[in-house]
Amino acid sequence: MAREYLKKATLTSASDAGETQAIVKDILDAIETGREDTARAYAAKFDRYDGNVLLTREEIDAATARVPERLKDDIRFAHDNVRRFAAAQLATVSDFETEVLPGLIAGQKAIPVDAAGCYVPGGRYSHVASAVMTVTTAKVAGCRTITACSPPRPGIGIAPAIVYAADLCGAHHILAMGGVQGVAAMTFGLFGLPPANILVGPGNQFVAEAKRILFGRVGIDMFAGPTDSLILADRTADPEIVAADLVGQAEHGYNSPVWLITDDRALAGRVMELVPALIDDLPQTNADNARKAWRDYAEVIVCADREEMAEASDSYAPEHLTVQAEDLDWWLGRLACYGSLFLGEETTVAFGDKASGTNHVLPTSGAARYTGGLSVHKYMKIVTWQRATRDGAKPVAEATARISRLEGMEGHARTADIRLAKYFPGENFDLTAHE
């Protein structure tokens, strides 16, 4: 049976791409030329903030003192989980060497990037968890300089909980500057900061576009679009929990897609009945976001069986993928395209977003077809090296000379020739190009 859409999206994430590129490029160009003064001017315009930009130790301590102890405990709990998981990831990366041929040794070395810039959203929501996710992984990876950047609030500065989280997790610098100007400050090394080698962390469309434009000059975690979530559910799923999970993700923003794929029509119908009331029960701003996301971007799809469900899920390649179905091991083995996978009713996307340990900076807009999310590996360069004895170099030099001449690269060939002539004088080698 073909997929049956009980609810079909009228818009996609590309529908609201906007004309941001020219705006962002102009701001980046202006700040690169005007440096700190221009960055401050944009901060005054967009953040309505003219306070201290690079937080002092005294300001960090003062912000920390304003954070309730219970909240500190929760942030420490989340940090410990993320740190432990990141450390386990780091243990999977190892330096090695191998003897490719007798006398020819090649190896791999993992080197953390020197300076990381971590963007922490602080506009509509104070994303404490984003500070935990980005700064902690950079610290575990071994980055020597970590800057956390977050939008300040007029007359207040960065939310104290974000300051506390960034400091706890290992940020060496905390920058009170948001949007494109914050990204530019980290990239261009303003305010005495070292220029960032990599930019990570979620943000609005202007932050995402700034990272896209700067990619190549610096590394980035990924190209980001609106957050998205998909639930795979069968007849054993609880429709109230499925509906709550869909609504919980739709509140991210008016253009945040949520999808339900099931092989049980009755479940689908019940979830669709429950969602509107759950949205109405949210605080007004959250409800407005969720209502628009459900109306314009959500989809409910009925499939014939679990294989068709899995195939449909892989075609969406969601950022967050939840399975509320029987035989979880089958789904774990079968599913291939997702940013992060949540198996069973006992876990949910919000756990991963906030405190369970896996990272919440994940690929959106189908990018999970080719990449995973933020991890210690994103902060590391996997480089290679080699060395050889003269005997070990001999067959490689012969093959290199012939292949180079076949390609018309005579200079390359001669770097092999000269070594053969020096190491093995008097020997005759056939170094002509292959016919």
Active site residues: 319-320
Amino acid letter, residue 72: K
CB 137 within 8 A of CB 379: yes
Q: Give the span between the Cα atoms of 372 and 302, in whole angstroms.
A: 27
Q: What angle do CA 393, 397, 398 make, to 5 degrees?
A: 125
Amino acid letter, residue 400: T
Amino acid letter, residue 45: K
Q: Give the span between the Cα atoms of 170 and 336, in whole angstroms.
A: 33
Amino acid letter, residue 83: R
CB 178 within 8 A of CB 152: yes
Q: Give the span between the Cα atoms of 226 and 140, in whole angstroms.
A: 28
| Element of type H or E holding 71 | helix 69-90
CB 39 within 8 A of CB 142: no
- Give the residue among 256, 260, 257, 258 at the shortest CA–CA distance from 232: 260
Can you read off the two tokens belonging to residue 202? Answer: 């979620």
Count of Cβ atoms closer than 10 Å to residue 233 Cβ: 25
DSSP letter at 167?
A: H
Q: Give the span between the Cα atoms of 294 and 307, in whole angstroms.
A: 26
Contacts of 21 (CB under 8 A, 6+ apart): 209, 213
Can you read off the two tokens belonging to residue 164? Answer: 């506390």
- Please report, in angstroms and rounded to a whole number, the separation of the first and last CA atoms in the chain: 55
* C-alpha distances out from residue 381 to 82, 109, 234, 367, Å: 21, 8, 42, 21
366 dihedral zone (left: phi>0; alpha: psi -120 to 50; beta)? left
Q: Crossing angle of helices 128-141/160-169, nearest 10°?
A: 10
Q: Give the span between the Cα atoms of 359 and 361, in whole angstroms.
A: 6
Question: 359: number of CA atoms within 13 Å, CB side?
Answer: 28
